Protein backbone atom coordinates (compact mmCIF):
# COMPACT_ATOMS: atom_id res chain seq x y z
CA UNK A 1 0.00 0.00 0.00
CA UNK A 2 1.45 3.34 -1.04
CA UNK A 3 1.94 6.29 1.25
CA UNK A 4 -0.75 8.94 1.50
CA UNK A 5 -0.12 11.95 -0.74
CA UNK A 6 -1.37 15.51 -0.22
CA UNK A 7 -1.78 17.38 -3.50
CA UNK A 8 -3.14 20.78 -4.47
CA UNK A 9 -6.19 21.39 -6.61
CA UNK A 10 -5.72 22.91 -10.04
CA UNK A 11 -6.05 26.70 -9.66
CA UNK A 12 -9.32 26.71 -11.59
CA UNK A 13 -10.89 24.19 -9.20
CA UNK A 14 -9.92 26.24 -6.15
CA UNK A 15 -11.48 29.27 -7.83
CA UNK A 16 -14.66 27.32 -8.53
CA UNK A 17 -15.34 25.88 -5.10
CA UNK A 18 -16.40 29.14 -3.44
CA UNK A 19 -19.20 30.08 -5.90
CA UNK A 20 -20.46 26.50 -6.03
CA UNK A 21 -20.78 26.27 -2.26
CA UNK A 22 -22.09 29.82 -1.72
CA UNK A 23 -23.79 31.20 -4.84
CA UNK A 24 -25.96 28.09 -5.24
CA UNK A 25 -26.51 27.49 -1.56
CA UNK A 26 -30.30 28.01 -1.51
CA UNK A 27 -30.81 25.24 -4.09
CA UNK A 28 -28.88 22.58 -2.22
CA UNK A 29 -30.73 19.50 -3.42
CA UNK A 30 -29.15 19.64 -6.90
CA UNK A 31 -26.06 17.90 -5.50
CA UNK A 32 -27.90 14.57 -5.43
CA UNK A 33 -29.07 14.97 -9.02
CA UNK A 34 -25.48 15.57 -10.14
CA UNK A 35 -23.87 12.73 -8.21
CA UNK A 36 -26.49 10.20 -9.33
CA UNK A 37 -26.04 11.35 -12.93
CA UNK A 38 -22.28 10.91 -12.60
CA UNK A 39 -22.78 7.42 -11.20
CA UNK A 40 -25.10 6.55 -14.08
CA UNK A 41 -22.51 7.85 -16.57
CA UNK A 42 -19.83 5.65 -14.96
CA UNK A 43 -22.07 2.61 -15.47
CA UNK A 44 -22.70 3.61 -19.09
CA UNK A 45 -18.95 3.90 -19.64
CA UNK A 46 -18.38 0.39 -18.25
CA UNK A 47 -21.09 -0.98 -20.53
CA UNK A 48 -19.37 0.66 -23.51
CA UNK A 49 -15.86 -0.58 -22.65
CA UNK A 50 -17.21 -4.07 -21.91
CA UNK A 51 -18.32 -4.39 -25.53
CA UNK A 52 -14.68 -5.17 -26.28
CA UNK A 53 -13.82 -6.83 -22.96
CA UNK A 54 -16.66 -8.58 -21.15
CA UNK A 55 -14.35 -9.53 -18.26
CA UNK A 56 -14.65 -5.94 -17.00
CA UNK A 57 -18.01 -6.90 -15.52
CA UNK A 58 -16.12 -9.28 -13.19
CA UNK A 59 -18.74 -11.04 -11.04
CA UNK A 60 -21.31 -8.20 -11.06
CA UNK A 61 -22.99 -7.85 -14.48
CA UNK A 62 -26.03 -6.00 -13.14
CA UNK A 63 -25.30 -2.26 -13.04
CA UNK A 64 -26.88 -0.12 -10.32
CA UNK A 65 -26.62 2.99 -8.17
CA UNK A 66 -27.08 2.87 -4.37
CA UNK A 67 -27.93 5.76 -2.07
CA UNK A 68 -27.45 5.24 1.66
CA UNK A 69 -26.96 7.29 4.81
CA UNK A 70 -25.67 6.93 8.36
CA UNK A 71 -27.33 9.24 10.89
CA UNK A 72 -24.74 8.63 13.58
CA UNK A 73 -21.79 9.35 11.30
CA UNK A 74 -23.74 12.16 9.54
CA UNK A 75 -22.78 10.79 6.12
CA UNK A 76 -24.57 10.28 2.83
CA UNK A 77 -23.11 7.88 0.25
CA UNK A 78 -23.80 7.52 -3.48
CA UNK A 79 -22.23 4.33 -4.83
CA UNK A 80 -22.11 2.67 -8.25
CA UNK A 81 -20.56 -0.44 -9.74
CA UNK A 82 -19.54 1.28 -12.96
CA UNK A 83 -16.14 1.77 -14.56
CA UNK A 84 -14.41 3.19 -11.46
CA UNK A 85 -11.16 5.15 -11.20
CA UNK A 86 -7.51 4.23 -10.94
CA UNK A 87 -5.32 6.25 -8.56
CA UNK A 88 -3.91 8.36 -11.37
CA UNK A 89 -7.40 8.97 -12.80
CA UNK A 90 -8.57 10.13 -9.37
CA UNK A 91 -5.70 12.62 -9.21
CA UNK A 92 -6.17 13.79 -12.79
CA UNK A 93 -9.96 13.97 -12.89
CA UNK A 94 -11.00 14.95 -9.37
CA UNK A 95 -8.27 17.56 -8.98
CA UNK A 96 -8.79 19.31 -12.30
CA UNK A 97 -11.65 20.53 -14.48
CA UNK A 98 -11.87 18.84 -17.86
CA UNK A 99 -11.48 21.10 -20.89
CA UNK A 100 -10.89 24.19 -18.73
CA UNK A 101 -14.54 25.17 -18.66
CA UNK A 102 -14.29 26.91 -15.29
CA UNK A 103 -13.65 30.42 -16.58
CA UNK A 104 -16.71 30.30 -18.83
CA UNK A 105 -18.75 28.79 -15.99
CA UNK A 106 -17.71 31.63 -13.70
CA UNK A 107 -18.57 34.20 -16.35
CA UNK A 108 -22.04 32.74 -16.82
CA UNK A 109 -23.00 32.90 -13.13
CA UNK A 110 -25.83 35.42 -13.01
CA UNK A 111 -26.72 35.58 -9.31
CA UNK A 112 -30.04 33.85 -10.06
CA UNK A 113 -29.53 30.69 -8.04
CA UNK A 114 -32.15 28.67 -9.89
CA UNK A 115 -30.61 29.52 -13.25
CA UNK A 116 -27.01 29.13 -12.05
CA UNK A 117 -27.80 25.67 -10.68
CA UNK A 118 -28.49 24.46 -14.23
CA UNK A 119 -24.95 25.38 -15.30
CA UNK A 120 -23.33 22.83 -12.99
CA UNK A 121 -23.89 19.74 -15.15
CA UNK A 122 -23.50 21.72 -18.35
CA UNK A 123 -19.90 22.69 -17.56
CA UNK A 124 -18.86 19.35 -16.10
CA UNK A 125 -18.41 20.49 -12.52
CA UNK A 126 -21.21 18.43 -10.97
CA UNK A 127 -18.93 16.44 -8.66
CA UNK A 128 -17.99 19.60 -6.77
CA UNK A 129 -21.67 20.33 -6.02
CA UNK A 130 -21.21 17.87 -3.15
CA UNK A 131 -19.49 20.65 -1.25
CA UNK A 132 -22.80 22.53 -1.16
CA UNK A 133 -23.89 20.23 1.68
CA UNK A 134 -20.63 18.62 2.83
CA UNK A 135 -17.55 19.97 4.58
CA UNK A 136 -15.59 16.88 3.50
CA UNK A 137 -15.94 14.37 0.66
CA UNK A 138 -14.40 10.89 0.60
CA UNK A 139 -14.22 8.99 -2.69
CA UNK A 140 -13.26 5.32 -2.75
CA UNK A 141 -12.90 3.62 -6.11
CA UNK A 142 -11.36 0.82 -8.12
CA UNK A 143 -11.27 0.74 -11.88
CA UNK A 144 -12.77 -2.32 -13.55
CA UNK A 145 -10.03 -4.76 -14.51
CA UNK A 146 -7.55 -3.68 -11.83
CA UNK A 147 -6.59 -5.83 -8.83
CA UNK A 148 -8.35 -5.34 -5.49
CA UNK A 149 -5.11 -3.90 -4.06
CA UNK A 150 -5.18 -1.12 -6.66
CA UNK A 151 -8.14 0.76 -5.21
CA UNK A 152 -7.88 4.43 -4.29
CA UNK A 153 -9.20 6.73 -1.59
CA UNK A 154 -9.51 10.48 -2.36
CA UNK A 155 -10.38 12.91 0.46
CA UNK A 156 -10.86 16.67 0.45
CA UNK A 157 -12.43 19.39 2.55
CA UNK A 158 -12.66 21.65 -0.50
CA UNK A 159 -10.10 24.05 0.93
CA UNK A 160 -7.50 23.90 -1.83
CA UNK A 161 -5.92 20.46 -1.48
CA UNK A 162 -6.80 16.76 -1.35
CA UNK A 163 -5.31 13.51 -0.07
CA UNK A 164 -4.89 10.34 -2.12
CA UNK A 165 -3.85 6.88 -0.97
CA UNK A 166 -4.01 3.32 -2.26
CA UNK A 167 -6.52 0.99 -0.60
CA UNK A 168 -7.78 -2.56 -1.01
CA UNK A 169 -11.25 -2.51 -2.53
CA UNK A 170 -12.74 -5.86 -3.64
CA UNK A 171 -15.66 -4.38 -5.56
CA UNK A 172 -15.19 -2.27 -8.67
CA UNK A 173 -16.85 1.12 -9.08
CA UNK A 174 -17.00 4.26 -6.98
CA UNK A 175 -18.53 5.39 -3.71
CA UNK A 176 -18.81 9.09 -2.90
CA UNK A 177 -19.35 9.77 0.81
CA UNK A 178 -20.46 13.23 1.87
CA UNK A 179 -19.69 14.27 5.45
CA UNK A 180 -22.66 16.59 5.89
CA UNK A 181 -22.62 20.05 7.37
CA UNK A 182 -24.78 20.61 10.45
CA UNK A 183 -27.30 22.60 8.39
CA UNK A 184 -27.69 19.75 5.88
CA UNK A 185 -28.63 16.92 8.24
CA UNK A 186 -32.19 16.90 6.89
CA UNK A 187 -30.81 14.84 4.00
CA UNK A 188 -30.40 11.93 6.41
CA UNK A 189 -33.99 10.99 5.66
CA UNK A 190 -35.34 8.24 3.43
CA UNK A 191 -38.45 10.24 2.59
CA UNK A 192 -36.50 13.36 1.57
CA UNK A 193 -33.96 11.46 -0.50
CA UNK A 194 -36.68 9.50 -2.28
CA UNK A 195 -38.52 12.71 -3.15
CA UNK A 196 -35.37 14.21 -4.70
CA UNK A 197 -34.67 11.03 -6.67
CA UNK A 198 -38.25 11.00 -7.97
CA UNK A 199 -38.03 14.68 -8.89
CA UNK A 200 -34.69 14.71 -10.73
CA UNK A 201 -33.56 11.14 -11.44
CA UNK A 202 -36.67 9.09 -12.10
CA UNK A 203 -35.71 8.83 -15.79
CA UNK A 204 -32.33 7.21 -15.07
CA UNK A 205 -32.47 3.83 -16.81
CA UNK A 206 -30.45 2.09 -14.08
CA UNK A 207 -32.07 1.03 -10.80
CA UNK A 208 -31.41 3.48 -7.95
CA UNK A 209 -31.54 1.49 -4.72
CA UNK A 210 -32.12 2.51 -1.12
CA UNK A 211 -32.55 0.47 2.03
CA UNK A 212 -36.14 -0.18 3.03
CA UNK A 213 -37.54 1.35 6.19
CA UNK A 214 -39.53 -0.70 8.67
CA UNK A 215 -41.63 0.34 11.65
CA UNK A 216 -40.23 -0.83 14.99
CA UNK A 217 -42.41 -0.68 18.06
CA UNK A 218 -40.93 0.95 21.13
CA UNK A 219 -40.21 -0.92 24.31
CA UNK A 220 -41.74 -0.29 27.75
CA UNK A 221 -44.28 2.22 26.57
CA UNK A 222 -41.87 4.22 24.42
CA UNK A 223 -42.96 5.39 20.98
CA UNK A 224 -42.00 3.43 17.90
CA UNK A 225 -39.81 4.61 15.03
CA UNK A 226 -38.81 3.82 11.45
CA UNK A 227 -35.57 1.86 11.18
CA UNK A 228 -33.53 0.84 8.14
CA UNK A 229 -33.63 -2.82 7.16
CA UNK A 230 -31.00 -4.84 5.30
CA UNK A 231 -33.28 -5.12 2.26
CA UNK A 232 -32.76 -2.80 -0.70
CA UNK A 233 -35.55 -1.47 -2.93
CA UNK A 234 -35.61 0.38 -6.26
CA UNK A 235 -36.85 3.96 -5.76
CA UNK A 236 -36.95 5.15 -9.37
CA UNK A 237 -38.82 3.93 -12.45
CA UNK A 238 -35.52 2.44 -13.71
CA UNK A 239 -36.66 2.77 -17.32
CA UNK A 240 -35.90 5.54 -19.78
CA UNK A 241 -38.72 8.06 -19.80
CA UNK A 242 -39.09 7.93 -23.60
CA UNK A 243 -39.56 4.14 -23.45
CA UNK A 244 -42.62 4.44 -21.22
CA UNK A 245 -46.16 4.94 -22.58
CA UNK A 246 -47.04 8.63 -22.83
CA UNK A 247 -50.25 8.07 -20.86
CA UNK A 248 -48.15 7.02 -17.86
CA UNK A 249 -45.99 10.17 -17.85
CA UNK A 250 -47.15 13.36 -16.15
CA UNK A 251 -46.44 16.86 -17.52
CA UNK A 252 -44.15 17.49 -14.55
CA UNK A 253 -42.08 14.41 -15.38
CA UNK A 254 -41.66 15.59 -18.98
CA UNK A 255 -40.58 19.04 -17.74
CA UNK A 256 -38.09 17.69 -15.22
CA UNK A 257 -36.60 15.32 -17.78
CA UNK A 258 -36.21 18.17 -20.26
CA UNK A 259 -34.47 20.35 -17.69
CA UNK A 260 -32.17 17.50 -16.63
CA UNK A 261 -30.86 16.80 -20.14
CA UNK A 262 -30.97 20.30 -21.64
CA UNK A 263 -29.75 22.30 -18.61
CA UNK A 264 -32.47 24.85 -19.37
CA UNK A 265 -34.02 26.30 -16.21
CA UNK A 266 -37.29 27.18 -17.98
CA UNK A 267 -40.09 24.76 -18.81
CA UNK A 268 -40.27 23.71 -22.48
CA UNK A 269 -42.74 25.57 -24.65
CA UNK A 270 -44.14 22.28 -25.98
CA UNK A 271 -43.25 18.64 -26.52
CA UNK A 272 -44.39 15.64 -28.53
CA UNK A 273 -43.79 11.97 -27.77
CA UNK A 274 -44.65 9.25 -30.27
CA UNK A 275 -43.64 5.85 -31.58
CA UNK A 276 -43.31 5.13 -35.29
CA UNK A 277 -43.60 1.58 -36.58
CA UNK A 278 -43.09 0.18 -40.07
CA UNK A 279 -40.03 -0.68 -42.13
CA UNK A 280 -38.18 1.56 -39.69
CA UNK A 281 -39.18 1.63 -36.04
CA UNK A 282 -38.27 4.32 -33.56
CA UNK A 283 -39.48 6.36 -30.61
CA UNK A 284 -39.29 10.15 -30.81
CA UNK A 285 -39.44 12.68 -28.01
CA UNK A 286 -39.26 16.27 -29.24
CA UNK A 287 -39.04 19.38 -27.03
CA UNK A 288 -39.42 22.99 -28.13
CA UNK A 289 -37.54 25.48 -25.98
CA UNK A 290 -39.32 28.52 -24.59
CA UNK A 291 -36.41 30.74 -25.69
CA UNK A 292 -33.59 30.49 -28.22
CA UNK A 293 -30.27 29.20 -26.74
CA UNK A 294 -27.74 31.94 -26.07
CA UNK A 295 -25.28 30.24 -28.44
CA UNK A 296 -27.62 30.33 -31.47
CA UNK A 297 -26.29 32.50 -34.26
CA UNK A 298 -22.72 32.35 -32.94
CA UNK A 299 -21.67 29.29 -34.91
CA UNK A 300 -21.15 27.34 -31.67
CA UNK A 301 -23.08 24.31 -30.54
CA UNK A 302 -24.83 24.57 -27.15
CA UNK A 303 -22.68 23.08 -24.42
CA UNK A 304 -25.56 20.86 -23.29
CA UNK A 305 -25.26 18.80 -26.44
CA UNK A 306 -21.58 17.99 -25.89
CA UNK A 307 -20.58 14.33 -25.65
CA UNK A 308 -17.96 12.59 -23.55
CA UNK A 309 -15.32 10.59 -25.39
CA UNK A 310 -11.81 9.27 -24.92
CA UNK A 311 -10.32 8.46 -21.53
CA UNK A 312 -11.82 11.35 -19.58
CA UNK A 313 -13.63 10.51 -16.38
CA UNK A 314 -17.42 10.77 -16.39
CA UNK A 315 -17.21 12.30 -12.92
CA UNK A 316 -15.94 15.66 -14.20
CA UNK A 317 -16.55 15.86 -17.93
CA UNK A 318 -19.65 17.48 -19.45
CA UNK A 319 -22.72 15.27 -19.19
CA UNK A 320 -23.32 12.88 -22.06
CA UNK A 321 -26.73 13.19 -23.60
CA UNK A 322 -28.54 12.23 -26.75
CA UNK A 323 -29.94 15.66 -27.52
CA UNK A 324 -29.77 17.14 -30.98
CA UNK A 325 -30.29 20.86 -31.51
CA UNK A 326 -31.80 21.91 -34.82
CA UNK A 327 -29.67 24.69 -36.31
CA UNK A 328 -31.09 28.19 -35.82
CA UNK A 329 -34.21 26.79 -34.16
CA UNK A 330 -35.50 26.15 -30.66
CA UNK A 331 -36.17 22.43 -30.97
CA UNK A 332 -34.47 19.64 -29.06
CA UNK A 333 -35.08 16.08 -30.23
CA UNK A 334 -34.36 12.69 -28.75
CA UNK A 335 -34.63 9.59 -30.91
CA UNK A 336 -33.01 6.92 -28.74
CA UNK A 337 -34.28 3.72 -30.38
CA UNK A 338 -33.99 3.14 -34.10
CA UNK A 339 -33.60 -0.03 -36.10
CA pair distance 313, 89, nearest whole angstrom = 7
3-state secondary structure of 197: helix
Give all domains of the chain, ordered by start, each with its CATH number: 5-234 (3.30.565.10), 241-338 (no CATH)
Report which DSSP code applies to 204.
Answer: -
pLDDT tens profile 261-284: 776 778 899 999 988 888 888 888
Q: Using an 8 Å Cβ cutoff, are 173 and 56 in contact?
A: no
Radius of gyration of the chain (CA): 20
Strand partners, 184: none
Q: What is the pairing mode between strands 65-70 and 75-80?
A: antiparallel
pLDDT tens profile 140-155: 999 999 999 999 999 9
pLDDT tens profile 166-202: 999 999 999 999 999 999 999 999 999 999 998 888 8
Q: What is the average pLDDT across 306-323? A: 39
Strand partners, 6: 163
Torsion, Cα 326 329 334 339, to 10 degrees, reads -40
Q: Using an 8 Å Cβ cutoff, are 211 and 229 in contact?
A: yes
Amino acid sequence: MSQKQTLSFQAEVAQLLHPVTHSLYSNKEIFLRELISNASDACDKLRFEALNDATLYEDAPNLEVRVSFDKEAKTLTIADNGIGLSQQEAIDNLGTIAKSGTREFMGRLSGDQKADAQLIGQFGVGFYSGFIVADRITVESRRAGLKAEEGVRWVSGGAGDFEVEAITRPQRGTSVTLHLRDDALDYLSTRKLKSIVNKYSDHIALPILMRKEEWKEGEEGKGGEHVLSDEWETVNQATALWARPGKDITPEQYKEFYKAVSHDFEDPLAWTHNRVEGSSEYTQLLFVRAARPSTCGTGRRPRASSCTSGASSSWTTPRRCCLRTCASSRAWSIRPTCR
